[in-house]
Amino acid sequence: MSVRTYLEAISDGLRDEMRRDQNVILLGEDIATFGGAFKITRGFVEEFGAERVIDTPISESGFVGAASAAAIEGLRPVVEFQFADFIACAFDQIVNFAAKAHYRWGTPVPVVFRGPAGGGFRGGPFHSQNPEAWFTHVPGLKVVQPSTPYDAKGLLLESIFDDSPVMFFEHLKLYVAKGPVPQEAYRIPLGVAEVRRAGSDVTIVGISAMVGRALEAAEQLAAAGTSAEVIDPRTLSPLDLDTIVASVEKTGALVVVDESPPHCSVASEIAAAVSERAFDYLNGPVVRVTAPHAPVPFAPSLEDAYAPSVGAIVDAVNSLG
């Protein structure tokens, strides 16, 4: 094990897989000489060459289409978007081509679409969105959101190995987070949640950066005598509902914390699914703690109030009685 940042873990994972498999290529804006917007691919073009680390024009639909076609032809492309918001420019290529090719023709499409997502760094409404719910709705796509450096590397390696198109969202606030990461390559299966903290009184499901805030809230709740179990889904599609339901059957209460707006969100899906599968175990309504139904604000004071706070999570748990 070595201590690595979340950003370094992703860079390590890409480098490991490119050394292992000559079919892994990278595409994106300014990822070669410049090393990417966040320097994740710094030094890659010197090691792997311009044929495998490809600087693209500013045309998301173009290079996403090229990557999807390359995947069908046997390569394993990893596409970097400078910000996850820009995925919208390639929505048709991802949703109507990459996601459906296997269903239409029976051909694998092993491509990973990486996108830095989330707010908290004063990027405004065009650089701070959490677009994961757009893609969890689409059959044929897998959606990953790691919350730790260890998971970032292991889930990325599994995503590259997977034969399906994978949306891999990296929260910008987590890039500086540090944690132990094995130096060797390893893979974490998609669709398996992790219980980050055991508890008996309430289940808190946190998504991406909200896992950390859920754990902070659990500490405060414990000091007041409430035992909270914190679950990190890690992948949103496929979603490990079995782990969440098993926890709710034990605790009898559920709070879901999601940085995206509430309408048709991942939090909404989890709340609905648990209400269907574990209604008889619930002692009260499922509570969602989310951002408001509004664009991410640019003003620091408003952005600070936009994402769910530790206090809001504690209040949500206490509202259940």
Q: Same structural domain for residues 150 and 203?
A: no
Among candidate residues 156, 181, 206, the one where a domain is terminated: 181
Tell me which amino acid residue 204 is.
I
**CATH code for position 306:** 3.40.50.920
The predicted model scores a pTM of 0.96
Q: Same structural domain for residues 30 and 171?
A: yes
Q: Same structural domain for residues 220 and 103?
A: no
Over residues 207-222, the mean pLDDT reads 98
Q: Same structural domain for residues 107 and 235?
A: no
Percent of the chain clearing pLDDT 90 (strictly above): 98
CA gap 64, 164 in Å, rounded: 15
**CATH code for position 144:** 3.40.50.970
- Checking if the pLDDT of 121 tops 90, the result is no
SS3 assignment, position 98: helix
Q: Same structural domain for residues 205 and 130?
A: no
Identify whether 188 is part of a domain: no
Q: Same structural domain for residues 138 and 254?
A: no
* Count: domains in the chain: 2
Per-chain mean pLDDT for the chain: 97
Q: Same structural domain for residues 41 and 141?
A: yes
SS3 assignment, position 60: helix
**Range of the structural domain that residue 298 is part of:** 194-319
Structure confidence at residue 159 as a pLDDT band (50, 70, 90): very high
Catalytic positions, written as ranges: 127
DSSP secondary structure, 198-255, as one string: --SSEEEEE-TTHHHHHHHHHHHHHHTT--EEEEE-SEEETB-HHHHHHHHHHHS-EE
Identify whether 68 is part of a domain: yes
Condensed to tens digits (0 to 9), the pLDDT of residues 229-283 reads 999 999 999 999 999 999 999 999 999 999 999 999 999 999 999 999 999 999 9
CA gap 275, 281 in Å, rounded: 9
Identify whether 54 is part of a domain: yes
